[in-house]
Amino acid sequence: MSAVAEKPAEDAPMVLRRDEGPVARLTLNRPQAYNAMSVALMEALLEELQRLDRDPAVAVVVLEGSGRGFCAGHDLKELKANPATAFREKTFSLCSRVMTAVVGLRQPVIAKVHGIATAAGCQLVASCDLAVAAEDARFGTPGVNIGLFCSTPMVALSRAVPRKQAMEMLLTGEMVAADKAEAYGLINRAVAGGDEALEAEVSRLAELVASKSSKVLKTGKEAFYRQVEMGLEEAYDYTSAIMVENMGYRDAQEGIGAFLEKRKPIWTGE
């Protein structure tokens, strides 16, 4: 599913980045460990996300995994080898920072999922704004099977899928096929046809989103996650104020003018 070598050099970056015009691709690069989220990988991913948040040239981010799967969750070998409470606190705190960075990123993030996305890997998919998966991808929060309830993955999962479905995944630890994950709302769609079809659909979606005003995308993403946690009246008050602010953007005036004049808008990001 990836052009990244199955066994990267020992000094290879934990996270790879390549830019394709306004779309940035981030690849988790621990294929030998199913891209398990070690402290080093999470630190590298957080650093890249922070760098992207400051990059006005990037409109959309695609997040994918190298090798045979998207992400198998936390690195259990690393956790077992470091039993100190301080290390465990660092691990789960860092993971939470990564997830909130994805949600707080100015650019929309699309998860491109193949193979497995389990535990914190499933959490990462749920944290992304959009997700497209291969038809044979599988998702799960199997911590309960090893005596470690997926409590932090539960935060993102319970905000992405209905409660009954989230609880079934958390309580049983069973894997969920891509078509069921789509029905749950964990992913936007499952794609048949192999690697090329998955890549084509992710590229299509990324390019479509990237064709919009970057300032409007930033405003809309931030407003979405803020209003969804509010009560109904508070949400309408907040989003009404956002609409008034948005109407003052140069891109809004350009977009409205282009629509009325039946032409393609020219965005400035202002």
Q: Render 158-203 in DSSP notation, one character per residue.
A: HHHS-HHHHHHHHHH---EEHHHHHHHTSSSEEE-SHHHHHHHHHH
pLDDT per residue, tens digit, the chain (270 aa), is 333 444 555 678 999 999 999 999 999 999 999 999 999 999 999 999 999 999 999 999 999 999 999 999 999 999 999 999 999 999 999 999 999 999 999 999 999 999 999 999 999 999 999 999 999 999 999 999 999 999 999 999 999 999 999 999 999 999 999 999 999 999 999 999 999 999 999 999 999 999 999 999 999 999 999 999 999 999 999 999 999 999 999 999 999 999 999 999 999 988
Position 11 scores a pLDDT of 75
Contacts with 19 (C-beta within 8 Å, 6 or more apart), sequence order: 25, 57, 58
- Per-residue pLDDT at 4: 40
Residue 9 has what pLDDT? 55
pLDDT computed for residue 12 by the predictor: 87
Contact 69, 94 (CB under 8 A): no
CATH number for the domain formed by residue range(s) 15-210: 3.90.226.10
Give the tokens for residue 153.
Answer: 């993955």
Residue 8 pLDDT:
55
* Contact status, residue 42 vs residue 71, Cβ threshold 8 Å: no
- Which 3 state secondary structure label does DSSP give 13? coil
User: Any idea which architecture 214-260 has in CATH?
Assistant: Orthogonal Bundle (1.10)
Residues 6+ apart with CB under 8 A from 99: 123, 124, 127, 152, 155, 156
Please state the domain extents for the chain: 15-210, 214-260
Is this prediction's pTM over 0.75? yes
pLDDT at position 5 is 40
Q: Which of 99, 109, 97 is nearest to 24 (CA)?
A: 109
